[in-house]
Amino acid sequence: MKKQILLLVMIIAVTGVVSGCQKKISNNVNQQQNNNQTTKTTETPKTTEISNISSTTSSSVEEAENSDWLLYENSKYGFTLKYPKGISPEVYENGNRPSIYFNSNELYFDIRLVINDNENLSEFNYLDFSPVGKGSINNQEALIFKSEKGYCDGPACGYPFIGYTTKFNGNFYSLTFYKMTELNDDAKKVLESFKFIIK
Residue 165 contacts residue 145 (beta carbons within 8 Å): yes
Burial class (CB in 10 A: 0-12, 13-18, 19+), 109: buried
Residue 135 contacts residue 144 (beta carbons within 8 Å): yes
Instruction: Give 134-189 pLDDT, tens digit per residue.
Output: 999 999 999 999 999 888 888 888 999 999 999 999 999 999 999 999 999 999 99
Determine the Cα–Cα distance for residues 164 and 111; give it in Å rounded to an integer: 10
Neighbours of 115 (CB within 10 A): 13
To the question of pTM greater than 0.75 for the whole model, the response is no
* Domain 46-196, CATH homologous superfamily name and number: Mog1/PsbP, alpha/beta/alpha sandwich (3.40.1000.10)
Neighbours of 136 (CB within 10 A): 12
What is the average pLDDT score of the chain? 75
- Whether the per-residue pLDDT at 31 is higher than 50: the answer is no
Neighbours of 103 (CB within 10 A): 14
- Range 100-118 average pLDDT: 93
- Range 112-125 average pLDDT: 90
